[in-house]
Amino acid sequence: MSIAGLIFSNLNQNKLAAMTRQRVLASVPFGCRYRLIDFPLSNMVNAGITNIGIVTGYNYQSLLDHLGNGKDWDLARRSGGIRIIPPYISAYENPALHKMYISRLEAMLSAASFIRNCPEDHIVISDCDVVCNIDIDALVEEHKKSGALITFLAKTMNVEEGQMDETDFVLESDETGKVTHFNHYKAGTTGKMNVFAQVMVMDTPFLRSIVDEATAQGFTSFFNDIIRPNADRLHMHAVYTDNWFAQMHSMEQYFRYSMQLLDSNVRADLFKRENLPIQTKVRNSPPTRYLPGAKVSGSLIADGCVIEGTVENSIIFRGVHVGKGAVVRNSILMQGTYIGDHASLGCVVTDKNVLIRDGRTLSGHETMPFYIAKGVHV
């Protein structure tokens, strides 16, 4: 069984606008030491995929820095490995024709040469706004067994108001898994539904034909131009995941799902599935030091931190310093955050290298965490 992978690093990133102002969605930090791309990338590597294209748009320096040569995912290969696919912009043609892509299909077209030259029989396509530990091997097996041309990964969940918008998709399938209905989420609807989990498998020749047709016809939308007009004759299949699943479509969701990592069942589901480890870039951080006077409880903490104060119910990334007498509650502190002595934080998300001076008090609410942008001094 040969599978290739294609990861879209920036689709849907406008939903996390504050955090993606200076970085691509794929490199948004998550869970103390990871970045969002670690999850689709690890899922693919765990299925033995070694030829992975990563489509990028704007602001992908942090992503390149994170991926390096791919060694940390065992993807530093002579043949295959990680292939970064930056936007294709020609200096000799009308620049208006080569504007930055917006849709999934346009992004696919920028990966046309990767798709056309890919020798593998199947391609797994994944976005970066979903955090889930997925057994892709099993997914592709199911795809092959079903005989479908395209298989969608879906998650059955109880959708609350405001959780999704019209750019999301919902689907229904019959008892064999054959998709009977695939459409945009209708705004305002709530309750139990099957949500498309932004991961799909396709036969490579089928994907090639899509790319060729879209190029010839000038199509721009994968779902509106390809899937929906052909829904009746395309054999589409759905596979449902039972695992913990997070879709980062707002700062509130980012905050809520981050906090769920404090639950050991969630961590077991995401990090401790047998033979399905989540890999990330390893950094040379020393262990974390808890100094006399530190009081830490119910928190997830990365290496390289120095904790002198109180930390409760929080997610602490690498190299964070929490000063003497400082109190950090229900907060997410990203890499290199410095909390001064006697500062107090509640429901705050600090981006990288934020400095909170001694004695400052900052507070947000669970439904609206107070986000402090990268490098800001308060």
Partner 1 sequence: MKQKKECVAMLLAGGQGSRLYALTKKTAKPAVRFGGKYRIIDFPLSNCINSDIDTVGVLTQYQPLVLNEYIGNGLPWDLDRNVGGVKILPPYQGQNGADWYKGTANAIYQNMEFIEQYNCDYVLILSGDHIYKMDYAKMLDFHKEKGADCTIAVLEVPLEEASRFGIMSAHDDGTIYKFTEKPKNPDSTKASMGIYIFNKKKLFDYLIADEADPNSANDFGKNIIPNMLAAGEKMFAYPFEGYWKDVGTISSLWEANMDLLGEDPVLDVTDQSWRIYARHQADEPQMVGNTAIIDNASITEGCEIHGTVKNSVLGSGVKVMYGAYVKDSVIMGNTVIGEGATVNYTILDEGVDIGAGAKVGEARENAKDITVIGTGVKVPSGAVIPAGEMISEL
- Is 279 a binding residue for partner 1 by CB under 8 A? The answer is yes
21-40: which residues touch partner 1 (CB under 8 A)? 31-33
Query: CA 287, 289, 292: angle at the middle one, nearest 5?
Result: 160
Residue 317 has which token pair? 């990334």
- Is 277 a binding residue for partner 1 by CB under 8 A? The answer is yes
CB of 280 to partner 1, least distance (A): 5
- Is 276 a binding residue for partner 1 by CB under 8 A? The answer is no
Window of 43-51, 100-108, 267-275, 357-365 that interacts with partner 1 by CB under 8 A? 267-275
Burial class (CB in 10 A: 0-12, 13-18, 19+), 79: exposed
d(Cα 320, Cα 306) in Å, to the nearest integer? 6
- CA max distance for the chain: 68
Coil, helix or strand at residue 204: helix
- Is 119 a binding residue for partner 1 by CB under 8 A? The answer is no
Q: Residues 221, 250, 260, 285: which binds partner 1 (CB under 8 A)?
A: 285
44-103: which residues touch partner 1 (CB under 8 A)? 71-72
CB of 70 to partner 1, least distance (A): 13
- Is 133 a binding residue for partner 1 by CB under 8 A? The answer is no
- Is 218 a binding residue for partner 1 by CB under 8 A? The answer is no
Rg, the chain, Cα only: 21
d(Cα 139, Cα 130) in Å, to the nearest integer? 16
Q: Are 373 and 366 in contact (CB under 8 A)?
A: no
- Is 260 a binding residue for partner 1 by CB under 8 A? The answer is no
**DSSP structure class, residue 160:** P
Q: What is the residue type of 91?
A: A
Identify which of residues 176 and 284 has a Cβ nearer to partner 1 in the complex.
284
- Is 265 a binding residue for partner 1 by CB under 8 A? The answer is no
d(Cα 300, Cα 275) in Å, to the nearest integer? 23
293-352: which residues touch partner 1 (CB under 8 A)? 294, 296-304, 306, 311, 316
Contacts with partner 1, residue ranges (CB under 8 A): 31-33, 71-72, 262, 264, 267, 271-272, 277-280, 282-292, 294, 296-304, 306, 311, 316
